[in-house]
A and B are shown apart, each in its own frame.
Chain A
Amino acid sequence: MPADFISNLYVFILAGFVGFEVIKRVSPLLHTPLMSLTNALDAIVVVAAIIIAGRHETRLTTILGAIAVAASFSNMVGGFVITDRMLRMFKSGRAKQA
């Protein structure tokens, strides 16, 4: 079993626990923005797509990489835009009167 696998497994398990503790505290009020925000963060796979496309090894891998760049970057941009739009709508009663 490669050493990289073990260190990645450590990171995965710790990040899973951090995620659990942080997300548990998200108000149910914001569950929809939570989902669109995590989608935007998950779109960080764009960095892997950039490297695959950028290496320019074979035509096939460049095409697959380019599709992945477009798909994940649209997810990233769209996810942040809609999350911000949603969160701007959430106003408290006091803020409204002010």
Chain B
Amino acid sequence: MNATALQQYLDFAYIAAVVLFILSLKFLSSPTTARWGVLAGEIGAALAVIATLFNPEVAQYKWILIPLIIGAGVGIPLGMVHMTAVPQRTALSHALGALSAAMIGIAEYYVGTAPVTRFQMGEIALEVIIGSLTFTGSLIAAGKLQEILPQRPIVYRGQNIVSLSVLAAALVLAVALVMNPAHSLLFPIMVIVALIFGVLLVTPIGGADMPTVISLLNSYAGFSAALLGFVLNSKVLVVAGALDGSSGFILSVIMCKAMNRSFTNVMFGAFGQVQASAGGKQEAKPVRSATPEEAAAILAAANKVVVVPGYGMAVAQAQHKVRELYDALTKKGVEVRFAIHPVAGRMPGHMNVLLAEADIPYDRLIEMDEINGDFPQTDVALVIGANDVTNPAARTDQSSPIFGMPILDVDKAHTVMVIKRSMNPGFAGIDNPLYYLDNTLMLFGDAKQFVGAIVRELGGGH
């Protein structure tokens, strides 16, 4: 086979891969076809990888096969992590994707075949800056989610000025390189400055904003791959990067809307910090609390129950006990559904995955817009480890930092029960008037133990 014919076969393999990638995402539109999506993606990726191994430019295989084996050896355990670790795994995955994109861009600069033109230099510099900052930014996000690093935003005076100056420095270095691509000393400095900017970018962002940050890093990782496609003139990378980038972008927009905040506010606003200082001056207001026995009696007498899970359920790993509660109540003829706020948890869709893991059928998991109208006809709304997403102040109190954020209208249910460790304010430090309503009962305790105690009262569980 001559070289041109081979090149054509390789191109057809890449085109097939691109088609399969698009189909892969299309299959994800419904849970019934979603697993076909994984298969389509796998076939497309395998086609592209195998075709590439036949590329005539490949002169040696040792330093391809060894890393491939290492990659598989690292990748399989990364695919087998526990479902509660999915947010940090996802952040780590963004970091790995950005790392490889940055490495290839750097290698492309040092490849000696032809001197880099100024135009190519611009592409490489932009690609390497985005890849590098996404790499360190995602590592910081993973560290926060794994709780190796403090989850609260870390802020100091003049932070935004420092961060933006570092970004500006990276861009100035990039411009200097475009003016003269032969300034090879500037290149590693630019990479280091971009790596530092990634750290500065994510450090001030706190736990409740994690869903937005993860989505945003997802889109950066995608766009760095697309830019790499420009550098290498590889259409398959341009398409895959554009798909990943637009996916991350759409998710970021959904997350921002669900918090009624703008991109700039998430990136530079340091959520949580401002409000923490506003807390504390609240005087003790009376709340009504209940025991597991009382809670079980109210739930057993109900017709319609809506469970509102939040990050607290994930932390307490209460999803399996929640499943037992679901079974016990369903057996008694109570209709149980779950209300999912888009930003509940630490990444988009976090609650759905945890509840699906606990074997709760997905048709019981209802989105916010769909279920909000049903709360007035709901007998009991049971809030488990969710706080800000149920705060009625977002509807009524213009001075509240979360005013305008769409919330789950649990306060409209006949009875609201809130499982919570104590009256300490939640992550963002915002007081929640829900807890002082006449129809609210506070259930103090660990989510897992308390739900377990209710299940025992209902005569279910193990």
Contact = CB atoms under 8 A, between A and B. Distances in A.
Nearest to A9: B230
Majority secondary structure of chain A interface residues (helix, strand, loop or mixed): helix
Interface residues of A, number: 85
A65 B89 CA distance: 23
Interface stretch (B38-46, B268-276, B427-435): B38-46
Contact of A42 (B225, B233, B357): B225
B97 A39 contact: yes
Q: What bracket does the count of chain B residues touching chain A fall in? A: 35 or more
Interface in A57-80: 57-58, 60-62, 64-80
Contacts of B359: 89, 91, 96
B79 A88 contact: no
Interface stretch (B147-155, B158-166, B347-355): B347-355
A22 to B, nearest CB: 5
Contact of A76 (B75, B246, B353, B365): B75
Contacts of B101: 45, 68
A55 B111 CA distance: 10
Given A56-B59, A69-B68, A93-B364, A15 B243 contact: yes
Interface of B: 14, 17, 21-22, 24-26, 28-32, 34-35, 37-38, 41-42, 44-45, 48-49, 51-53, 55, 57-61, 63-64, 66-68, 70-81, 83, 86, 89-90, 93-94, 96-97, 99-101, 103-104, 106-108, 110-113, 119, 123, 214-215, 218, 221-222, 225-226, 228-230, 232-248, 250-251, 254, 340, 342, 347-350, 352-353, 356-357, 359, 361-365, 367
Nearest 10 pairs between A and B by C-beta?
A81-B79, A73-B71, A77-B75, A31-B349, A54-B58, A78-B78, A19-B246, A32-B349, A74-B75, A15-B242
6 contacts: A23-B25, A51-B58, A52-B108, A53-B67, A54-B58, A88-B35
